[in-house]
Structure 1
Amino acid sequence: MNTLALGLDRTRVELKMYSREKEAVFFSFLFPIMLLALFSVIFSSQFDDAGPDMSAARFFLPGMVSAGVLLTSFQTMAMSVATERDDGTLKRLRSTPMPPVTYFLGKVGLVGVSSLLQLVVLLLVARFAFGVPLPTSADRWLVFAAVFVLGVFGGTVLGIAYSSLSTSRSIGAVVIGPQLVLQFISGVYLNFNDVPEWLQRIASVFPLKWIAQGMRSVFFPDGMAAQEMAGSWETGRTLLVLGAWALVGLVLCVTTFKWFKRGSV
């Protein structure tokens, strides 16, 4: 209980530090919300003939939710942990009586709170600003919750592990470049069916494609499942792949995490 209480205290500290970093808040928290609003307005005319079941906002919502999961978990963790390692924050924390697990609980709390808040804002904007219908069946919400939790957890541990690949000076490029490519080939900003097949296969190796597919299965009409690679939503496979990536990320996080920057004693 004492460790849990310390973890909650650390979460509050992490949230305060996060809220003071305006660039991080914009690019990881507000960016998907802003893009949803912009895409819904800019591309609205292209969905005039799509029928009453599909609008620009509904089309882009699953992708923006998926991008939000990626940004608030993977990007936030990779960049913040690399910075804290290089500026000596991790070294100082390691030398305090605070249990090491408290640091990780704080990071998990930060990602959990920020991801959930972002999700709520995204859904509110989609529903009340653009009239996107939200799921009404319990099974869809269960799929949504499972994909969201596995995506956030996997992104968090993978981001912590990824932070060891670079220093704070170059981590931005190391993170943002690859994740932008993945967003475009994983059906976040484009119709996944329009992506060349060989790029679809590359995207299928990584979790973002499956997060986006899982979210489409929640928010899209059932008839659009035929446009997926397998002609169905593949809910079971989606959860299996995301679970596997979460496990791989956890193992990598545990085995690669370092409290001290390279070359330090």
Structure 2
Amino acid sequence: MNARTAALRAGLDRGWIEFKQTWTNRDDVIGQFVFVALFLGTLFFMRNATLPGTGFSLGAATVPGVLGAGIVFNGLNSTAGYLAIDREDGTLLRAKATPNGMLGYLVGKTTAVAMAQVTGILLVLVPCLFLFDSLAPDGVWSYVHLLWVLALGLVATLPLGAALGSLTNSPRSIALITLPIMGLGAISGIFYPITALPSWVQGIAQAFPMYWLGLGMRSALLPDSAVVVEIGQSWRPLPTLAVLVAWSVIGLALAPVLLRRMARREAGSSVAERREKAMQRVG
């Protein structure tokens, strides 16, 4: 077994361990279930509202959009946040000191985040399938469609999150990533049809993966009758595939370069300096 293969296996093992640890941490578990409960409660009260011009439930139409937005938010924000924290506490420096350590670290972190995302989606989707009988109308094919959108969404966002995290100086800088993502959520047709927004806003939203992930999720989980509120009254599968692949390529190209650049700058003195600043803020 060569060094890279060993690093990949170590990264997968690390990702599995980190994922399991999130379910032994009380705060993480409470936070996860509080979010799910709040979201399901909101959908419950939306169940009798309908999409404009249709008799289709607005609550059911919101489910796939929120799942798509969650992939983007967690893929970018969570990955970047973990990277910033591990940079500040010296974890990245220790990874750098081992052969192919940065490769193993990146594989482990993306594995842990991806598994957490899949779990979060299941915690939301399974109850919604009982709450809204109109979801997943094509049975098995709906879930197959959902899986390829989910897989491509993870590839399109996790490397980007790592790239953005490598540009941050500290965990407090993550707000610079969080706020734009929240802004994208407001214009990407997550909670209301994007066609209700001005055309120039629609154009901005379509340049980023959040809109396309929401659209892909809706095309997988909603019946064809719900397509009337989409742009061009079409699910646009080929543009969805093209945009998500393009963002995947961008992320996979940028992440290794930026992470290597960040790793070269890591040293014991820089970690000690960041810790000293953190202690001063606490004091």
Percent identity (aligned): 29
Number of aligned positions between the proteins: 261
Report the counterpart of residue 46 of structure 1 in structure 2: 49
Which of 14, 19, 27 pairs up with 1:22?
27
2:187 to 185, 188, 192: 185
Secondary structure (helix, strand or coil) at the match of 2:192 reads coil
Matched, 1:237 2:239: yes
Query: Once structures 1 and 2 are overlaid, which stretch shifts more, 104-113 or 151-160?
Result: 104-113
Deviates more, 1:98-107 or 1:118-127: 98-107
| 1:102-181 paired onto structure 2 within 5 Å | 102-181=104-183
Taking the aligned partners of 2:217 and 2:149, their CA distance within structure 1 comes to: 7
TM-score, normalised with respect to structure 2: 0.81
1:54-73 → structure 2 map (5 Å cutoff): 54-73=56-75
For residue 130 of structure 1, report the CA deviation from its aligned partner: 4.4
Provide structure 2 residue ranges, at least 5 long, that are not aligned to the other structure.
272-283
- When the two chains are superposed, the root-mean-square deviation of aligned CA atoms in Å is 2.7
Separation of aligned partners in 1, 2:176 and 2:22: 21
Q: Which moved more, 1:192-201 or 1:217-226?
A: 217-226
**Maintained 8 Å contact 1:58/1:219:** no
- Structure 1 CA distance for aligned equivalents of residues 161 and 86 of structure 2: 14
Question: Match of 2:16, as an amino acid?
Answer: R
Q: Which has the larger radius of gyration?
A: 2
CA distance in 1 between counterparts of 2:47 and 2:67 reads 19
Question: CA offsets per residue over residues 220-244 of structure 1, 9 Å max, x none?
Answer: 2213323222331110110111011
1:174-203 deviation line (CA, Å, top 9, x unaligned): 121011110110111222121221111000
